[in-house]
Chains A and B, each alone.
Chain A
């Protein structure tokens, strides 16, 4: 089955046809290919979250259409037809710990697979597997989710989404409010899922470092429109353009840009510490190890 996403001329207006109507997305056209890791960046209120909610049919376009995992969504699509789509698309909302409600952690994780027709035993099996995957100790499984720490609640919520075994995973700022260690662990877990299970990942984030480290496709949004659709290397090689649109650079790239201003030739733009270190090592070797460029 093809799990790619194809968006054509999508427009969306909140509270359409009322005096409070306001436009959130204008003529958005995009392709997200199967198994890619796409990052969507942009200023607060640029329409990122609205766009995400179209991808699993929580919102339907006011005009235009999109195809997600072989399901066509048009303004006329009925709610019933969207259920089939939703099982393919896992959606981790901002602060997903707010969605927990069951008596035990295990039941909460097993909630989604049960909704999508898995038997009780199967769901529980999947839940145990997912709890392990997100790094939850097995002794918390029988406890109430409300007794856990914030970080653990986040893990339970994410496990609950992964338990649907989606092919497309949407992450809306999954690490907001976590400590540095928790953030790194979580981002590495998503990267692992992407590599091992070929999950298509769509990540909305304000952390440019994460974009540079993990994504292979970047979409930049502003005022409901797509203003750039490219690779991280391409987008981050224009620091002035980014600054104009109120976006920053990843730390490494920002540092590389300073070196470049000082006359060090770096090409292509290094996105990660390792890439920068390698390029610098190469330059040092060429220059005989002594001087700076």
Chain B
């Protein structure tokens, strides 16, 4: 058994995000689980508005946790609705019982770009901080809930894989990173219509990357 893969990012030499792949959205793994529940009036969890999203501020229950965002009301996605309207709708007793769906907030493209450009100086910082000369920079970054693997090529492109932390056994991430580099060389760079340093929009690349990730998740190697 391999490791569950959450995300793949490619950061160009100049620190721009040129590719991102959200594996949870394509395979529907538990990681991006959404919870739907029918509520009676008054609502027993506290909601707040944050960054133009309705967020659970307090009152975690039945799989709905603090920090989750409102995804839909009575089956209608809330995307595009103004916060005032949503708050008003939720505040009216006449609208109950009300079925609300909550989920982990997804990163928007903009947020991903910001995170990628934050990682870039962070990586350089790690090199500078090294007590020995010749540090490679960040290769792995570990937390309770995920592990980030980074591999920088000699030409300065960074391949980043975010995966489930695994304490024992082979994860196969090393070979996945090599594989992604190979796919990048094949399906991005050999495409005559792709210009260097620009975002990669290639279906062939997506498809092959998806296959490689599935294989790593299932077997642990490529």
A in complex with B: no
Chain B residues with a Cβ under 8 A of chain A: none
Chain A residues with a Cβ under 8 A of chain B: none
